[in-house]
């Protein structure tokens, strides 16, 4: 018996049984691993479906800018950055569930498509050759949602020293306080109103051609002005578009922005358009705006720079780029940044530094426009204003031969 048991054939049978038993144990272990991944995948299904739905509707915004569908599509496209995060997070559990890996692949493809649409903001723009003479200046844009934090706002303006700063939601009391606390800025195109929906442009250089126009279906204000620098002028336009809350207000905002673009297209020389746009750069409405005004998006090559947070608290993930610097084709954007929100509202200030070569800058001309006749007081050039050295950032540079 012992000889038969110890025979080579029996030993091989025993080893085979042991290996089979070990293999069965491994298979059992492998069967248990996907169970946790499957459960987590099932938990992620609602989140994944939301990400897929919002993403697909966001793609519709690339072609549709009208009606209820256009409004819903733009709202979904505004969530593009958030959707990318949702899609990538929800794709992870499906990756570890072999039967659902195609779902993970679909989520990653959708996230990649959204990333591709955002790429122009992240890819550095090709710089033009530096001209022999060029002008570099800063524009600071803010919104007076909270009219109590004056000391913080004034301190911020003094620290930055922009050449031009633009203000929306300007009322008569706000206008008075700005002039008292920032006397070294020309009053420029300043049009406050009793409702607190006025607009002001302040500059530490002479200004001309200030004009207030009421455009769009609701005749909302737009201020046009011309800043006079050393070797030429630059147009600065400040607008305040309505917030789209439904398809009707969505249509009014688009018509208002189109009307502004039509007026801007008639201006001569370099142009900077800023203010409260209340539009994200992800949909057809924004693309149409760039085409109609022949603008360059200041964010292109400078990052997302989201300056508006949705909800009562800024938690970073709820930020959106809704206010902009749009410039003419003959300008370059050297800097684009969101600054600390000194006023504590939902719109943080934005700061841009722009460059114009001497050939593109327009010289002062005789066809000076006058403010609207129905404005209470024509803007005055404060020729005796004092401009401190720290607030002057305009420079004329020349190449050395």
Distance separating alpha carbons of residues 248 and 256, to the nearest angstrom: 12
Domains by residue range for the chain, with CATH: 12-121 (no CATH), 124-398 (3.60.10.10)
- Segment 7-35 shows an average pLDDT of 55
Q: Choose between 344 and 365: higher pLDDT.
A: 344
- Determine the average pLDDT of the residues in 180-197: 76
pLDDT at 12: 58
Strand positions, DSSP E, 204-294 = 207-215, 220-228, 233-240, 271-276
pLDDT at 134: 74
> What is the residue-wise DSSP string for 302-359?
T-----EE-SSS--STTEE---EEEEETTEEEEEEEEPP-TT-SSB--EEEEEEEETT
385 sits in which H/E element: none
Give the Cα separation of 214 and 222 in Å (integer): 6
- Single out the residue of 170, 165, 183, 163 nearest to residue 385, CA to CA: 183
Q: Using 50, 70 and 90 to split pLDDT, how confident is the model at 363?
A: low
Residues 91-120 have a mean pLDDT of 92
Please say if the pLDDT value at position 257 is more than 60: yes
Q: Closest Cα partner for 242 from 343, 342, 169, 332? A: 169
User: What beta strand segments (E) does 154-251 contain?
Assistant: 164-170, 190-191, 198-203, 207-215, 220-228, 233-240
Contacts of 89-95 spanning 24+ positions with Cβ under 8 A: 89/44, 89/47, 90/44, 90/47, 90/48, 90/51, 91/48, 93/37, 93/40, 93/41, 93/43, 93/44, 94/41, 94/44, 94/48
The 10 Å Cβ neighbour count of residue 255 is: 15
What is the overall mean pLDDT for the chain? 81
Instruction: Please compute the mean of the pLDDT values over residues 331-351 and round it to a whole number.
Output: 91
Phi, psi of 65, rounded to the nearest 5 degrees: -135, 25
Task: Provide the β-strand partners of residue 337.
Answer: 351
- Per-residue pLDDT for 97 more than 80? yes
């Amino acid at each position: 018996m012992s000889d038969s048991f110890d025979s080579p054939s029996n030993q091989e049978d025993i080893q085979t049984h042991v290996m089979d038993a070990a293999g069965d144990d491994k298979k059992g272990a492998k069967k248990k691993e996907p169970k946790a991944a499957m459960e987590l995948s099932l938990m992620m299904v609602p989140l994944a479906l939301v990400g897929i739905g919002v993403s697909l509707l966001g793609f519709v915004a690339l072609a549709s800018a009208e009606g209820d569908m256009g409004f819903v599509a733009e709202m979904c496209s505004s969530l593009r950055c958030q959707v990318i995060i949702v899609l990538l997070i929800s794709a992870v559990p499906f990756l570890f569930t072999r039967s659902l890996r195609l779902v993970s692949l679909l989520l990653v493809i959708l996230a990649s498509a959204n990333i591709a649409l955002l790429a122009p903001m992240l890819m550095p723009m090709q710089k033009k050759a530096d001209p022999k003479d060029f002008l570099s200046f800063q524009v600071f844009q803010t919104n007076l949602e909270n009219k109590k934090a004056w000391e913080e706002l004034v301190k911020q303006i003094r620290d930055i020293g922009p050449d031009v700063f633009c203000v929306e939601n300007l009322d008569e009391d706000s206008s008075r306080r700005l002039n008292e606390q920032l006397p070294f800025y020309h009053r420029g195109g300043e049009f406050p109103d009793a409702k607190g929906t006025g607009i002001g442009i302040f500059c530490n250089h002479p200004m001309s051609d200030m004009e207030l126009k009421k455009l769009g279906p609701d005749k909302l204000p737009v201020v046009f002005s011309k800043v006079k620098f050393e070797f030429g002028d630059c147009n600065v336009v400040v607008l305040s578009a309505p917030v789209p809350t439904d398809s009707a207000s969505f249509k009014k905002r688009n018509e208002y922005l189109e009307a502004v673009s039509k007026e801007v297209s008639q201006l001569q020389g370099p142009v900077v358009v800023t203010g409260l746009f209340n539009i994200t750069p992800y949909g057809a409405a924004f693309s149409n705006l760039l085409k109609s005004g022949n603008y360059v998006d200041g964010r292109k090559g400078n990052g997302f720079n989201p300056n508006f947070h949705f909800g009562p608290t800024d938690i970073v993930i709820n930020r959106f780029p809704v206010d902009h610097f749009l410039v003419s084709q003959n300008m370059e954007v050297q800097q684009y940044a969101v600054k600390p929100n000194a006023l504590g509202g939902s719109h943080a200030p934005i700061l841009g530094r722009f460059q114009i070569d001497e050939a593109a800058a327009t010289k002062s001309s005789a066809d000076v426009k006058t403010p609207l006749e129905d404005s209470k007081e024509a803007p005055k050039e404060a020729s005796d204003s004092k401009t401190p050295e720290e607030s002057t950032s305009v420079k004329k540079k020349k190449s050395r031969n």
